[in-house]
Structure 1
């Protein structure tokens, strides 16, 4: 038998998973690395820690799988996006990586938006904001605050590209990462040269990898040094991967126009596949060819979702029994006896793009208990998801189904509420590690086992549960959603308009 390896380079650890070509995981291992936090919302990691973790995790995963290393044909990575590294001519890091959550470049992000460049169409139809997490603001920060280091840098790229260089010796960027966060566009001629010129950052063009490789294409084979480090043969092909959440779309099997991936955890991330480019105020994208050739991805997100459930648990002293709470909450009617939740506990990412908005419980009485609060939070989050879907529909993308991965899949009640509130069927694939499986599918494509990503999905993504919206509950939620939609404009005058207020 032949095997492929999908690597998920996350914020806290790197996980390697060995798969056969039917999508069965045969072995898995993870190794952590540290993040250094400091004042000014800074967060940094040592790229050498990623490399060490890869060697340890791959060797352990192959050993757990009980296979000969020679049986591995190809590998690919899904990594954090907007994790920026500056390298010298030899590919060594000149400074710690500025990871995705680092937002020190807030002023630079505002300057990027102020250019009004056409490349900003992916930032809510050009109206912004531009996130301080993205590549150009971070590179501009380095140029302004560490000019000597910027001048010495031969390459400025991302986690994904650093690993590709170490594995193969080839200096290239992922079409996925550059399309979603570097303002690269296959429709507008590639890298955003005019944007960089307006910022006085023309030198960055020569520091970005000149080669851009699409997900699933072969970057190269393992160098002798990488072969020895991972314990794999030099025959192993390295496939281009991309940003973890976007590669997770592949692992969820979301590839056709009208399909939408909802990746849940502390927050909700939403990615819709469109047959044509669309853009609208309040949503991100679309990104042409970023995951699938000839298709476009529209993006939305909710800042606080599962984190609100975690907040409820903290309020209860960490003593909530979620199984019992789900059972009690399921007995309640939609609307929780008059209780509504606005889910903006950490602001709103989309569709309002208001970081200063705040959450609220509206309609509380002494008759409400924890099951009411618990279900109302689920309903409020699901209404927030529907608000994004409405924005996507207005942009010209109409979802036909929602495929969910992540933490929300552990609650049958929450899945049903999502289906009822959105009025769309919800699918939950069998696999839970979507980024690693998506990377493994890309490895299968690069290894010649599949003619396309779509073919790889058909072979390796296994169907799981499907939840249909219920007509009665859907009608009830339609009425409740109209009330939810009134909360944000009604409460906005009562929320502080400064982040420090």
Structure 2
């Protein structure tokens, strides 16, 4: 029986899973790692990623109870825009700059100021450019830590670091490169002219020398990696990519007109098109980065589940989610006058403003923790609606949105998303979308499936549908207008 080992390297932990070729998860293991938070800056130690990958993989294989020789392929998804500078041996020269780190906001503006043709992916060339992305962060290294930049043999991502440790190959994912490095598979590849205008042409030589599409085989395990994992060296390592994009596969969103939302520390929203779309307030569209001959349109929220984690840290104890959900569900829409702006770590879309910040507005002495809890969920729901509105203005609409990740654990949050957006929310049988998507890609790389679409048909199983409640949607329509007024009003205060 062919089995696949997957990993989902998230913001706070790595989860490994073992799947069979029918899409059944046979075993799972999660291991946390440390994240260092400072205002506007977030870092991790790449060596923690590798050790966590090994420990979680071994735990998942043990939990699955399958012989090592039944693992035929490995595929994984990781956080995107988590940038790391490495020496010739693949060792980190400094802590990795995490995806949610927005220190490079000045460099992002410098990228936009070039007016390079590659910026068509940024609101049709009108921008903005996000401080989260590869080139702004690399430019920040060049400007602020020039000795690290010059010494770096490779500047790449979390995904590429794991690939190198597994295979000894320097290979970037077409998914990450097309999504965040301004790589254009149909228009000459790397954005060389953009790097030239920024004064960092040498960055292109520091990037991995191969670009491999999701589902294609990068190589097999090195002897050292096979020994650490306890697997045969013949195991194929199949290219994955950004956790959210690989999550699209795991949600079964692969046809034009479908919408996907990956939830966790952040939210990401995606659609699939047969023709390119470029518009202000929308990222993309990106050619071929997940599926051949299709484009991906994107929106995203920087802080979502991470706000609930912040709330837990603020209270000094783990939140009692069962009790909070029950009390919050009893509140009417609007949490009795409390409104949250969800920009705790800046805004991705539709504003793309790294300096915007979160806010709790309308507090009174009668509000309790469950009011803030519900209002936070509602604020995140409004942020999602703003993104779907931007999609619609660009010409892309969907009749329902398929959701995976952390929000699926809360029926209340799912209902709030359906009510604030005014469209049904679908949850597949397995909401662990990046892992399921990685399993599909592993099946393609192992030769079990001819295409990603075929793998989706076999491994992704239907789940449940949450319909919006008309009364709540009407109530939220009015509250949403006040949410939309928050950003321009607060921008004047915070700028």
Same fold by TM (over 0.5)? yes
Structure 1 residue 461: Cα displacement: 1.9
Please tell me whether the aligned partners of residues 40 and 345 of structure 2 are also in contact (alpha carbons under 8 angstroms): no
- Is the aligned partner of 1:257 residue 2:256? yes
Please tell me whether the aligned partners of residues 160 and 171 of structure 2 are also in contact (alpha carbons under 8 angstroms): yes
SS of 1:495's equivalent? Answer: helix
- Is the aligned partner of 1:401 residue 2:391? no
SS of 2:494's equivalent? Answer: coil
Cα–Cα, structure 1 residues 302 and 100, in superposed 2: closer, same or farther, change >3 Å? closer
Write the distance in 1 (CA, Å) between the matches of 2:30 and 2:379: 34
Deviations 1:275-328 (A, max 9, x none): 221122222222211111122222222334344545666677759654344344
Please tell me whether the aligned partners of residues 445 and 456 of structure 1 are also in contact (alpha carbons under 8 angstroms): yes
Structure 1 residue 182: Cα displacement: 0.6
Worse-matched range after superposition: 145-154 or 9-18: 145-154
- Is the aligned partner of 1:384 residue 2:383? yes
Worse-matched range after superposition: 136-145 or 277-286: 136-145
> Residue in 2 aligned with 1:49?
48
Worse-matched range after superposition: 480-489 or 168-177: 480-489
What stretches of structure 2 of length at least 5 have no aligned partner? none
Please tell me whether the aligned partners of residues 43 and 98 of structure 2 are also in contact (alpha carbons under 8 angstroms): yes
SS of 1:26's equivalent? Answer: strand
Q: What is the TM-score when the length of structure 1 is the normalising length? A: 0.88
> Residue in 2 aligned with 1:223?
222
Larger radius of gyration: 1
SS of 1:277's equivalent? Answer: coil
SS of 2:165's equivalent? Answer: helix
Write the distance in 2 (CA, Å) between the matches of 1:493 and 1:441: 43
> Residue in 2 aligned with 1:496?
494
- Is the aligned partner of 1:20 residue 2:20? yes
SS of 2:124's equivalent? Answer: coil
Structure 1 residue 80: Cα displacement: 2.0
> Residue in 2 aligned with 1:8?
8
SS of 1:278's equivalent? Answer: coil
What stretches of structure 1 of length at least 5 have no aligned partner? none
Please tell me whether the aligned partners of residues 334 and 473 of structure 1 are also in contact (alpha carbons under 8 angstroms): yes
Please tell me whether the aligned partners of residues 54 and 230 of structure 1 are also in contact (alpha carbons under 8 angstroms): no
Structure 1 residue 430: Cα displacement: 2.3
Cα–Cα, structure 1 residues 119 and 330, in superposed 2: closer, same or farther, change >3 Å? same
Structure 1 residue 341: Cα displacement: 4.4
Structure 1 residue 18: Cα displacement: 0.8
Q: How does 1:385-464 map to 2 (within 5 A)?
A: 385-464=384-463
Worse-matched range after superposition: 313-322 or 151-160: 313-322
SS of 2:74's equivalent? Answer: strand
Structure 1 residue 426: Cα displacement: 0.5
- Is the aligned partner of 1:71 residue 2:70? yes
| RMSD value, Cα | 2.9
Deviations 1:194-247 (A, max 9, x none): 101101212222222232110001111222232222211122111001112221
Please tell me whether the aligned partners of residues 43 and 101 of structure 1 are also in contact (alpha carbons under 8 angstroms): no
Please tell me whether the aligned partners of residues 403 and 431 of structure 2 are also in contact (alpha carbons under 8 angstroms): no
Write the distance in 1 (CA, Å) between the matches of 2:155 and 2:341: 40
Write the distance in 1 (CA, Å) between the matches of 2:38 and 2:321: 35
- The number of residues matched between the two structures is 494
Cα–Cα, structure 1 residues 133 and 369, in superposed 2: closer, same or farther, change >3 Å? closer
> Residue in 2 aligned with 1:142?
141
> Residue in 2 aligned with 1:195?
194
Structure 1 residue 137: Cα displacement: 2.2
SS of 2:215's equivalent? Answer: coil
Please tell me whether the aligned partners of residues 130 and 352 of structure 2 are also in contact (alpha carbons under 8 angstroms): no
Please tell me whether the aligned partners of residues 302 and 346 of structure 2 are also in contact (alpha carbons under 8 angstroms): yes
> Residue in 2 aligned with 1:205?
204
Worse-matched range after superposition: 233-242 or 337-346: 337-346
Worse-matched range after superposition: 305-314 or 15-24: 305-314
Structure 1 residue 183: Cα displacement: 0.7
Q: What is the TM-score when the length of structure 2 is the normalising length? A: 0.89
Cα–Cα, structure 1 residues 481 and 42, in superposed 2: closer, same or farther, change >3 Å? closer
Structure 1 residue 337: Cα displacement: 5.5
Write the distance in 1 (CA, Å) between the matches of 2:240 and 2:323: 40
Structure 1 residue 191: Cα displacement: 0.6
